[in-house]
A and B are shown apart, each in its own frame.
Chain A
């Protein structure tokens, strides 16, 4: 996480806030799927704008990206991307147990992504005394040109991305997805202030 320049205490604090948020997101997912979700401690890393573009365009098997904008107070805003791999697509459909005609695979992915994103961000925001509102989630076509175009068309300039690597295991199935939070510099500065405020309470 060198790009964020977080101190050891700030990083520990951020990781714990993310663990709590992810725990509640997996609880919501478990209720939705009516099963038990095994969750590993998510790893977090920060990437700068250029590196992210490279990483995403090099990923061969990216099946789909679901993108959803979020807005809080005090300059905390951004865009959450959930990136799924191609080999997991069949598993997600199995997992959701939808009949082929009921909902398209696209709709299933949007459902699951929105549950993860909004629960995660709601709980994260609550812990830093903030509150989020959201845009409707969008499924981006997997074509790479579309993705990079989308990243360039954000309504704000984002400088760093916080990448949260999530691995969900659901009884017989497991799937990986990356949650990538694109956030502008002002939001990062603000998050650091909040981390310091929390740490000062101890």
Chain B
């Protein structure tokens, strides 16, 4: 069974970059969101196993989504993929429950490595 995946990023290109980096067998069950509010709606109404999340987005940003996930007590694994690579930001998202912080632009081998490390592959 491939997990259900949600990719949240305001950039179309960035969403495609993540999609392209996913393991082949995961590509069949992917949903996308273009902002934080949309992501939270999808997360609430569907059972999402893995979320790939951008941080800087208009409206509800990635931090807002992480807080929403905690509030709703959702059990999805979150991988933050962001251009804001400051160490403080990396520790902040991990404190908010993200499994990993990956820097943009994401590379397939890096993504696969992290998924393996967290027992998702």
Chain A interface residues toward B at CB < 8 A: 9, 12-13, 15-16, 19-20, 22-24, 26-27, 30, 36-37, 39-41, 127, 198-199, 202
Contacts and interface: CB of A to CB of B under 8 A. Distances in A.
22 contacts: A12-B11, A13-B13, A15-B11, A16-B11, A20-B83, A20-B104, A23-B56, A23-B82, A23-B83, A23-B104, A24-B83, A27-B84, A27-B85, A30-B86, A30-B88, A36-B89, A40-B56, A41-B56, A41-B57, A127-B105, A198-B13, A202-B16
Contacts of A24: 83, 85
B108 interface: no
B58 interface: yes
A41 B58 contact: yes
Nearest to B84: A23
A37 B86 contact: yes
A39 to B, nearest CB: 6
Contacts of B88: 30, 36
A-side binding surface: helix, strand, loop or mixed? Answer: helix
Interface residues of B, number: 19
Nearest to A19: B83
Nearest to B82: A23
Given A23-B85, A39-B84, 13 more contacts: A16-B13, A19-B11, A19-B104, A23-B83, A23-B104, A24-B85, A27-B86, A30-B86, A36-B86, A36-B89, A127-B105, A202-B13, A202-B16
A144 B83 CA distance: 36
Interface string B70-90: 000000000000111110110
Contacts of A198: 13
Given A23-B104, A27-B86, A127-B105, A16 B14 contact: yes
A78 to B, nearest CB: 22
Interface in B63-119: 82-86, 88-89, 104-105
Nearest to B14: A16
B20 interface: yes
